[in-house]
A = this chain, B = another copy of it.
Amino acid sequence: MMLRTPFEEELEKLHNQFYAMGTEVAAQLKKAVRAFISHDRDLAKEVIENDEIVNNYETKLEKKSLEIIALQQPVSSDLRTVITALKASSDVERMGDHAVAIAKATIRIKGEERLTEIEAEIKKMGKAVRHMVEDALDVYLNSDERRAYEIAASDEIIDNYFRDIQAMTVEGVRKNPDAAFAAKEYFQVLMYLERIGDYARNLCEWVVYLKSGKIIEL
């Protein structure tokens, strides 16, 4: 077993916190989409309440990062690693915010005329987004540069869902104008899911950035 430096030990703690936060956000996303599709207000409320857990993780991660920088005074690539964890945690926190926004849409839409065929598609998209988030967390925590490209590319699948379901919703409301309120919520939920996919791609970009030292857009 190789002896690790104090910096490496601290970094591992930071990554463990990151993993815990990411796992919580992926669970929030899963519940939020399930609540929206199954019209489950109670589950939606649970997601809204749990947001505090995610925010607490972010605060803790930020504290830990600052502590590492101040006490270990890392330079060059080590410093970049800590800064990246700090920025990436903002991305993960925002994924959590969007899961909450989906939960809020669940509460607003209750009792309105709905379009079941759109909801079936949102379910599929939600699943794809959740898998992408889980994969991106994995890629990030394992600094897996090769898979980073692969997972980042899967954002295209999400974007296709986004455009296709938007177009279906436009058609749906054209034929059934009473579903206009629900359509408003569908458009919002679609945007939240699409943004979560973007944040997942960001996580992949951080990996490449750390390896190459260059900010790139995959």
**Residues on A close to B: CB < 8 A?**
59, 62, 65-66, 69-70, 73, 75-76, 79-80, 83, 86-87, 90, 166, 169-171, 173-175, 177-178, 180-181, 183-184, 187-188, 191, 215
B70 touches A79 (CB 8 A): yes
| Docked pose: A105 CA to B197 CA in angstroms | 20
A169 touches B191 (CB 8 A): no
Q: Which residues of B contact A191 (CB under 8 A)?
A: 188, 191
One complex includes copies of this chain to the number of 2
| Docked pose: A90 CA to B170 CA in angstroms | 33
A76 touches B70 (CB 8 A): yes
Q: A177's contact among B59, B73, B174, by CB below 8 Å, is which?
A: B174
- Since A173-B173, A173-B177, A175-B177 are in contact, a sample of 6 more A-B pairs with Cβ atoms closer than 8 Å, ordered by chain A residue number, is A59-B215, A66-B79, A66-B80, A69-B69, A170-B180, A173-B180
How far is the CB of A59 from the nearest CB of chain B, in Å?
Answer: 5
Interface residues of A, dominant DSSP? helix
- Shortest Cβ-Cβ A-B pairs, 4 listed: A187-B187, A174-B180, A177-B177, A170-B180
Q: Which residues of B contact A174 (CB under 8 A)?
A: 177-178, 180
A69 touches B79 (CB 8 A): yes
How far is the CB of A178 from the nearest CB of chain B, in Å?
Answer: 7
Q: Which residues of B contact A184 (CB under 8 A)?
A: 166, 169-170, 187
Q: Which residues of B contact A62 (CB under 8 A)?
A: 215
- Can you identify 24 A-B contacts, CB atoms within 8 angstroms? A59-B215, A62-B215, A65-B83, A69-B83, A70-B75, A70-B79, A86-B86, A87-B87, A87-B90, A90-B90, A166-B184, A169-B184, A170-B183, A171-B180, A173-B180, A174-B178, A175-B177, A177-B177, A180-B183, A184-B187, A187-B187, A187-B188, A188-B191, A191-B191
| Docked pose: A169 CA to B76 CA in angstroms | 51
